[in-house]
Amino acid sequence: MKILYFAWLRERLNRGEEHVSPPAEVATVSDLIDWLAARDEAFAHAVSKRSLIRAAVDARLVPHDAPIAGAGVVALFPPMTGG
């Protein structure tokens, strides 16, 4: 699965995307964030305030408890503003 990072999350991680193969027990966006944080200290620090992280699974905005089974792309980003 491809993980995309946007805005200050991208800047803090110094990467815009990565390809990962999470284990089967990683079933939700929240599980994915936990798994990514456990394997990458910079990611853990960047997402320490989980309430600031939004997610989209295959281009659909989703809550953190949304399933990721079969997802091709998960995007993680800070809250959006309009204007």
Q: Which domain holds residue 47?
A: 2-77
C-alpha distances (whole Å) from 36 to each of 26, 27, 62, 69, 80 are 10, 13, 18, 16, 22
Tell me, what CATH number does 51's domain have? 3.10.20.30
Does 39 reside within a domain? Answer: yes
pLDDT-above-70 percentage for the chain: 96
Task: Please name every residue paired with 4 in a beta bridge, in sequence order, or none if there are none.
Answer: 17, 75
Residue-wise pLDDT for 57-69, tens only, equals 999 999 999 999 9
Number of domains in the chain: 1
End-to-end CA distance of the chain: 32
Residue-wise DSSP of the chain:
-EEEE-HHHHHHHT-SEEE----TT--BHHHHHHHHHHH-HHHHHHTSSGGG-EEEETTEEE-TT-B-TT-SEEEEEPPP---
Does 82 reside within a domain? Answer: no
Does 44 reside within a domain? Answer: yes
Which pTM does this prediction carry? 0.93
Does 15 reside within a domain? Answer: yes
Does 68 reside within a domain? Answer: yes
